[in-house]
C-alpha cells in the first residue's frame, strides 16, 4: 500500500472505531437493562436502514464531479474536524468532562430501566430497547457511512475505506463481546483528538483543492499539514492549561 492509502485506512479506521464504541455503549446499555433480543432487533433494523442509505448515496457520490465533491466534502470534513478538535482540546485541557463510556453506560441503562417499565415483556419486542438500539446504530452508523464515502470517493478508493470501517467495527464489537462491558479502557479522547486533526487536515486540503488552489508539493503537503494542525492543537491545550489562563477563564465564566 502507498503512503496515501495507509493514511486513508488509518484515518477511516480511527474515526469509525470511535463511532462504533459509542454505538456499542448504547446497545450494551439497553440490552443489559431491558431486553437483549429487542436490542439486537434494533441493531438489525439500524443496519438495514444504513444499507438503504449506502445503496442510495453510494452511486450518487461517485457521479459528482471531483471538483464539486472536494468543495462539499472538504467543507463538511473541516466543519466536523474543527468540532471534534475543539471538544478534544477542551477535554485535554481539563475544561470539559472526559468522555466516560462507563458513565454513559450507567446513564443509558438507568434511563432504560426507568422508561415505561410496563412495556417490558408485554409483547414479543420491547419497543424502548428496539428504538434506542436502532437509533444509536443508525446515527453513529451514518457518521461512519459519511466518513467512508467522503474519504473513499476523494481518494478514489471506496473499497479500502470500507475495509477499514468494517475492520474497525468488527474490532470494537469483538472487544465488546469479549469483555461484555462498555469499552472504558479505549483511549477514546486521544482517538478523538487524532481524528479531529485528520478530519481538519483532509478537509482543509480538499476544500482548497476544490476551490482551485494548488498546495506546494501537492499531496506531500499533507505531511506538513497533519503535524502542523496537531502541534497547534497541542499548543492550544498547553495555553488553556496554563494556571494564569485557567484563572482568567474561571473569572470570566
Partner 1 sequence: MRRALLAVWDFIVGDDWVTAAGVVVAGAATAALQSAGVVAWWILPVAVVVLLTRSVTRHRG
Point out which residues bind partner 1 (CB under 8 A): 71, 74-76, 78-80, 82-83, 85-86, 89-90, 93, 95-96, 142, 200, 203-204, 207-208, 210-216, 221, 225, 228-229, 232-233, 236, 240, 249, 253
Q: What angle do CA 124, 141, 203 make, to 5 degrees?
A: 170
Q: How far is the CB of 109 from partner 1 (least distance, A)?
A: 25
Whether residue 206 contacts residue 73, with contact meaning beta carbons closer than 8 Å, is answered with yes
Per DSSP, the residues of 213-230 read ---TTGGGGHHHHHHHHH
Q: What is the largest CA-CA distance in the chain?
A: 65
Of 98 and 117, which has the nearer Cβ to partner 1?
A: 98
Q: How far is the CB of 25 from partner 1 (least distance, A)?
A: 20
Q: How far is the CB of 17 from partner 1 (least distance, A)?
A: 20
SS3 (DSSP) at 250 = helix
What distance in Å separates the CA atoms of residue 168 and residue 13, rounded to the nearest whole number?
5
Of 145 and 158, which has the nearer Cβ to partner 1?
A: 145
Of 127 and 228, which has the nearer Cβ to partner 1?
A: 228
Of 52 and 213, which has the nearer Cβ to partner 1?
A: 213
Q: How far is the CB of 97 from partner 1 (least distance, A)?
A: 10
Whether residue 176 contacts residue 183, with contact meaning beta carbons closer than 8 Å, is answered with yes
Amino acid at each position: 500500500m502507498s503512503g496515501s492509502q495507509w493514511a486513508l485506512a488509518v484515518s477511516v479506521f480511527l474515526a469509525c472505531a470511535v463511532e462504533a464504541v459509542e454505538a456499542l455503549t448504547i446497545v450494551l446499555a439497553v440490552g443489559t437493562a431491558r431486553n437483549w433480543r429487542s436490542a439486537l432487533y434494533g441493531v438489525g433494523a439500524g443496519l438495514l436502514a444504513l444499507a438503504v442509505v449506502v445503496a442510495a448515496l453510494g452511486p450518487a457520490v461517485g457521479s459528482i464531479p471531483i471538483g464539486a465533491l472536494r468543495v462539499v466534502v472538504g467543507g463538511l470534513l473541516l466543519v466536523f474536524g474543527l468540532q471534534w478538535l475543539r471538544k478534544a482540546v477542551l477535554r485535554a485541557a481539563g475544561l470539559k468532562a472526559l468522555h466516560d463510556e462507563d458513565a454513559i453506560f450507567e446513564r443509558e441503562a438507568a434511563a432504560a430501566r426507568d422508561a415505561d417499565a410496563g412495556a417490558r415483556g408485554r409483547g414479543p419486542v420491547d419497543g424502548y430497547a428496539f428504538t434506542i438500539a436502532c437509533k444509536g446504530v443508525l446515527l453513529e452508523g451514518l457518521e461512519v457511512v459519511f466518513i467512508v464515502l467522503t474519504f473513499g470517493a476523494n481518494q478514489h478508493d471506496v473499497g479500502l475505506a470500507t475495509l477499514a470501517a468494517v475492520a474497525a467495527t468488527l474490532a470494537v464489537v469483538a472487544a465488546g463481546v469479549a469483555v461484555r462491558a462498555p469499552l472504558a479502557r479505549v483511549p477514546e479522547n486521544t482517538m478523538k483528538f487524532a481524528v479531529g486533526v485528520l478530519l481538519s487536515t483532509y478537509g482543509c486540503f480538499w476544500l482548497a483543492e476544490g476551490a482551485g488552489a494548488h498546495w506546494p508539493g501537492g499531496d506531500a503537503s499533507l505531511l506538513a499539514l497533519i503535524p502542523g494542525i496537531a502541534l497547534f492543537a497541542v499548543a492550544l491545550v498547553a495555553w488553556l492549561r496554563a494556571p494564569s489562563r485557567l484563572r482568567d477563564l474561571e473569572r470570566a465564566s
